[in-house]
Every structure is written in structure tokens, then in C-alpha cells.
Structure 1
């Protein structure tokens, strides 16, 4: 399983690289994005790089390209709690409002002893495919927009705990340092009520999104986790909402808790957005056993 997962990550990374090279080679003859989708309907970037809310993916495809075009964007996100910092950055491409591909990196660090030198990095390749429905144009239908996705993750080891002899998540009890999340998302937009509802079901073994590896001494099988978002359009450029994300409990050294946040996203135009949130990330490790709360700030540029 470990070798197969690693091979899948390498193939996905190669695919994204080849797509980028092909796009650069054809840049002179490739049309500019039409940016024909409504403002804010590409969502923002969640912590693993997929288009959606701050902590959960939506069925919406990133970018503002319609079914005849494409969209590209980049993001950087910073989350700070009492004891930890999480930075994530990356790029994403939406093709024909049907397919989304993303590449992102997470950097997790500690700020309080005994984990003040802690640094963990993770690479994530995401692929999302829209199956049916249209969140914008199917206003007269009950069927939401539905998409399926995968996130291929590779944990790059642990730095800063050399004094404890720890350099790999397996030494904390994780079963693997690579893993794959599978999810299905359903998003329904009610334009008359200025309301968006999203539900995501994720199959995962990831501990703290994979920052602490995959599987563990308490559990090493896929579990179905629910994630939900409710967003309200205050006016055309400003969106407020809440999110909730269930988490597995696989590790004895990590009393993992569910995620939640309250967010405000501002879209001055289709090339830029900023999202601020107050996030509750629960316990991270038994070394700092307190409920981790703090601010979340994300910037996104693209088309």
C-alpha cells in the first residue's frame, strides 16, 4: 500500500508538471481565460489546496473559466493558534468548469516549548471532477452540483525534534507517511436567498490532515468523515459563513478534535480575494494539550 501510494503521488506530480510545461509551450496560441463565471463562484482555497471554503472542499471548480475556458489561481494561507503555525501555499487550475487540479504545500511549526523548533512539511496533489448538476444555473432543480475528488499526500518528515530522536511520523505511531483522501462534495446555491450549502463526505486515514501521518496505533483503516459549510452572500462582493469538519482519532499521542471556523471572504474583483476566519482546531498533540484557536488569513490571486 505504501509503495502504491508513493507511486500514485509521483504520477500525479508528473502529470501536473507536464500540464504546466504544455501550457507554457502553447501560451502564445492559447486564448486568455474568459472569466465568465459569477463573482465568488470559484470559491477560495481550503487548507489542502482545493477550491471551496477554508477547511473543506466544495463541488465548485476553482477559477472563473466557463465550460469553454479555464481558470488559474495561486494562494497563500496562514493560520496561527496559541502554540502552532500552519502555512499553506500553492496553485490550482480549473478546466472547462469540469476538472480541477491543484498542487500545494503545507508547513506546520511550533511556537511554544517543547515544540518550539518543530517543523513538518507536506506536499498535496489534488484532483476534482464535476459529475453532475450546476450550482448556478440549476436554480429550478433540487439536485445540487456534485463532484468527486482525491488528495494525494506526502509527509516529508519531522524537523526540530532531534533531541527526542524523532524525525518521522512513524515514530509517533503513524502507520504511513503517505496517504490518499477520497471525497464527494455536494454544493447547492440558492441565488434568491443569497445562500450556499455544502456537504462533503471524506474517506481518510489522515492524522491532522496528514501532518502527523496516516493511520496509527489506535486505528489504521479508512473512516468516513462529514464536512459541512453554510455561506451567506451579504452583498455581491462579501460572503460570511461557518464550517465544520470531522476528524479521525488514530494516534495515541494526538487527541485529535474536529475543526470548525467562522469566516468572512471579500472579492473586490475576479483577480483577487481575501478570506479571514476565526478557527477552532482542537488539540494538536498531547505535548500542548489545549484547545487550539486562532486567526486564519488567506490571499488568492488568479482568473
Structure 2
């Protein structure tokens, strides 16, 4: 249904400003690379719809992550998304696949105008399709739910004449490595609240540079889970295309230390 809606002509519009639909983060929702933002995917406003299709590759020392994602934004109020992730663990010669189904609802505020920032609540249902490795390191489930609350603001003429984007997300999660190492742990401890943030400065209306930070819960006794961060550059040549490149530091993953490398995402907007 999501795919059919994306490619069907209809009440499509492009009322929002360039880049205010965001990029597609690796879990399929509108945002940066690592972190979801409060904005709704696409350029549709009230009475309109928009959306995005994206492919992403993350290449660090011992892992490759490929993601294909679709997102649909309706009335600049509701976002529905889907992402298929495939993580290749090069030292072990195996792959872990995960499906992520997302929903987001704009609660109050606006990204650009008015007193309040745009504030959105989100949910991500994740299903790990290859549970052998997550089970071996202590995860106790192959599925889980993340709940998010995001506040984002684009400050026009914010710093030395540049537009500045700020975003903060709070996440409730029981996921290990965003679900790629399963969910929960052997002692059945409760969910964790973690914080995620982004800062971007627009060099002009087409180019943005910035930084993202994603706190991680570190729930498994067998392997450490470090916080994630990246420095990114985004290019928005038109409302139909977005490209994001980043240098990422993902810390230790599944006992393999200091995973650093590049991130590249191509997004097409409809």
C-alpha cells in the first residue's frame, strides 16, 4: 500500500521550503543519517502528500549496512515508513536482516514558523529476521518497539546569516545496536531512555554541514555497545533529490572495536 501510494499521481504538492522534508535516516524515517527528526517526509503541506525513497550504505571497518527505505507524508501531519536493513558481518561471513515499520505524528508547532518548534511522536516496530547471532550474545527477542519524541527547529538567519537546524529526540528502547543484535537481554531488565541530537548549518539553500549524536543503551553483558556519532554534509540540489554523506564513529559493535567509516545516502522525493 505504501509503495502504491508513493507512485500514484494525486494531491502531490511541494509547499514546504527546500530541505525541510529532511533526509531519510537509516531506520526509514525523515531525519538525518543516524537520528530521526520531527519533520514529516516529503514537501506536502496541509491537504497534500509527499514522500521519499532512499538507499543507504554504511561502511565501517568490519561491517557493511545496506538500507532500502520508503516513507509517505500525509498533510504534513502523519508519516508512514518502511526500511529493509541488511548488515554484513565481514569477519564471520554472515548477514543479519531487519525490517523496520515506522509511524510518526506531528503533535504541535512548526519547523520554521511560530513560537513552538515542531514536536512529533514516533514509533518504530522492528523485526530481526536472522536471530542466531543476537541470540548467541544474549538478546532474548527478535522483535521490539522504539518510541520517540522529537523537537526540531530551523532557525532562519540564525548564525552569521546562516540557517541553522537543531533537533533533539528522546527514545524509549529495548533494542541492542538498533535491533540488529536483537532486543532485551538475559536478565529481562526494563527499557532504557536515551537521547539523540542533531545540529546542522546551511552554507546556502542547497548545502548543509552538521553533526549527529545518538546515545545507546548498552544492555548486553557479553558485548559493549557504544554511542554513535557522525559529521555529515547534505546536498539538496532540488526538491526531488537529496544526498547525504558522513564520516561515522559507531564505537564497539559485537565485540569488534572502534568501528569507523563512511555513510552515504541517496534520496528521491515524489
Superposition TM-score tier, normalisation by shorter sequence: over 0.9
Deviation at 1:217, TM superposition (A): 2.9
Deviation at 1:188, TM superposition (A): 1.5
Deviation at 1:27, TM superposition (A): 4.1
The answer on 1:227 being equivalent to 2:196 is yes
SS of match in other structure, 2:157: coil
- 2:243 maps to 274
Does the Cα contact within 8 Å between 2:3 and 2:70 map onto a contact in 1? Answer: no
Does the Cα contact within 8 Å between 1:180 and 1:204 map onto a contact in 2? Answer: yes
- 2:38 maps to 59
- 1:196 maps to 165
Q: 2:56 aligns with which of 68, 77, 82?
A: 77
The answer on 1:187 being equivalent to 2:152 is yes
Does the Cα contact within 8 Å between 1:217 and 1:250 map onto a contact in 2? Answer: no
Q: Structure 1 or 2: larger helix share? A: 1
Over the aligned positions, Cα root-mean-square deviation in angstroms equals 1.6
- 2:126 maps to 153
Does the Cα contact within 8 Å between 2:66 and 2:87 map onto a contact in 1? Answer: yes
- 1:301 maps to 268
Computing the radius of gyration from Cα coordinates, the structure with the larger value is: 1
Deviation at 1:169, TM superposition (A): 2.3
Return the alpha-carbon distance in structure 2 between the equivalents of residues 248 and 199 of structure 1: 17
Give 1:13-92 correspondences, 5 Å limit.
17=1, 20=3, 23=5, 27=8, 30-31=10-11, 33-92=12-71
Does the Cα contact within 8 Å between 1:219 and 1:250 map onto a contact in 2? Answer: no
Number of aligned residue pairs: give it.
266
- 1:8 maps to none
Q: Which runs of 5+ in 2 are unaligned?
A: none
Deviation at 1:136, TM superposition (A): 1.4
Change (3 A) 1:168 1:259: closer
Return the alpha-carbon distance in structure 2 between the equivalents of residues 118 and 105 of structure 1: 17
Deviation at 1:171, TM superposition (A): 3.0
Deviation at 1:243, TM superposition (A): 0.5
The answer on 1:249 being equivalent to 2:218 is yes
Q: 1:109 aligns with which of 79, 85, 88?
A: 88
Return the alpha-carbon distance in structure 2 between the equivalents of residues 144 and 93 of structure 1: 22
Q: Structure 1 or 2: larger strand share? A: 2
Q: 2:142 aligns with which of 177, 180, 188?
A: 177
